[in-house]
């Protein structure tokens, strides 16, 4: 039997936010492990800390206390460049507000991250790899109806 492989590990993680002089405990003392290939659902009341937790797991935010390990690496000890590389190459994150670039169309928004990632420096255009994917949402005939 293969050994359990932990991809994400949180140890006693808390995240405080500041509203003026008030400290808001957005997340309090969370410990968990997510296995490689695992599937996890986080549910809870509004304000219970789900987005705060996902921001920490997604290497977007850092904990106030405790440690977040992504594939064995302590996120607090990773450089900005390493965090950017992890976010670009290893993490997929769908934001509640989508965070699309408003001046780009649907194809361009889909193509933008891989264009930055793979194009040689200074080159920003590439063929529309997104056609097949975004076409599903653009009434190309492949989208389900009814």
Closest approach of Cβ 19 to ligand ATP, in Å?
5
Residues 130, 105 contacting (CB under 8 angstroms): no
Min dist CB 92 to Mg ion, Å, is 17
Measured from the Cβ of residue 112, the count of other Cβ atoms closer than 10 Å reads 15
Residue linked to tokens 């607090």: 76
The packing angle between helices 80-89 and 106-118, to 10°, is: 130
Q: Which does 48 bind (CB under 5 to 8 A by kind): ligand ATP, Mg ion, none?
A: ligand ATP
Quick one: which segment of 46-54, 55-63, 64-72, 77-85 binds Mg ion (CB under 5 A)?
46-54
Interacting residue with Mg ion among 8, 15, 30, 51 (CB under 5 A) = 51
Please say which residue, 52 or 134, places its beta carbon nearer to ligand ATP.
52
C-alpha to C-alpha distances, 80 to 51, 59, 77, nearest whole angstrom:
21, 10, 10
Rg of the chain taking only CA atoms, in angstroms: 19
Binding site for ligand ATP (CB under 6 A): 17, 19, 24, 26, 44, 46-52
Which of Mg ion, ligand ATP, none is residue 76 near (CB under 5 to 8 Å by kind)?
A: none
Q: Is 129 helix (H, G, I), strand (E, B) or coil?
A: coil
Looking at beta carbons only, is 53 or 59 nearer to Mg ion? 53
Q: Which residues bind Mg ion (CB under 5 A)?
A: 50-51
């Amino acid at each position: 039997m293969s050994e359990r492989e932990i991809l994400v590990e949180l140890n006693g993680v808390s995240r405080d936010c500041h509203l003026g002089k008030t400290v808001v405990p957005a997340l309090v003392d969370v410990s968990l492990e997510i296995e490689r290939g695992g599937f996890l659902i986080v549910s809870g009341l509004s304000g219970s800390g789900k987005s705060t937790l996902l921001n920490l797991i997604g290497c977007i935010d850092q904990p106030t206390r405790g440690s977040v390990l992504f594939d064995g690496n302590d996120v607090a000890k990773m450089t900005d460049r390493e965090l950017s590389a992890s976010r670009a190459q290893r993490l997929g994150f769908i934001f509640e507000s989508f965070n699309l670039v408003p001046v780009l169309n649907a194809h361009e928004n889909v193509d933008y991250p891989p264009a930055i990632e793979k194009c040689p420096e200074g080159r920003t255009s590439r063929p529309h790899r997104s056609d097949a994917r975004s076409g599903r949402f653009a009434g190309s005939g492949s989208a389900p109806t009814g």
